[in-house]
């Protein structure tokens, strides 16, 4: 892939740092994740972040200060990890 002539990043991309305090808040909305519940987990973790931070998902990218943890299996959860919400 040559991306030299086309920049896929929108001009108004908003990069948001998710601090551990916010992460722990987001963890409360996680029931299980794609590692312990591959069938039920079908929304990406950043959807939870969208609603917690009231951000527009089409222009927002998240940087996690640390990975979140699945309350069920303790596996690390990153912004694109699929989860099942509470």
CB-wise, 58 or 74, nearer to Zn ion? Answer: 74
User: Considering only residues 73, 78, 80, 86, which one is a binding residue for Zn ion as defined by CB under 5 A?
Assistant: 73
CB-wise, 59 or 80, nearer to Zn ion? Answer: 80
Does residue 41 interact with Zn ion by CB under 5 A?
A: no
**Closest distance to Zn ion from the beta carbon of 22 (Å):** 20
Measure the CA–CA gap between 85 and 44, rounded to whole angstroms: 10
**Residue 21-40 contact track with Zn ion, rule CB under 5 A, x = bound:** -----------xx-xx----
CB-wise, 43 or 73, nearer to Zn ion? Answer: 73
Q: Within 13 Å, how many C-alpha atoms sit on residue 37's CB side?
A: 20
Q: How far apart are the first and last CA of the chain?
A: 39
Per DSSP bridges, beta strands 30-33 and 82-85 are antiparallel
User: What's the token pair of residue 35?
Assistant: 């590692």
């Amino acid at each position: 892939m040559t991306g030299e002539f086309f920049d896929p990043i929108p001009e108004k991309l908003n990069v948001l740092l998710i601090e551990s305090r916010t992460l722990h808040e987001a963890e409360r909305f996680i029931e299980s994740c794609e590692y312990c519940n591959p069938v039920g987990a079908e929304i990406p973790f950043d959807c939870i972040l969208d609603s917690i931070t009231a951000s527009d998902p089409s222009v927002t990218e998240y940087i996690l200060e640390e990975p979140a943890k699945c309350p069920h299996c303790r596996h690390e959860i990153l912004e694109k990890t699929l989860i099942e919400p509470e």
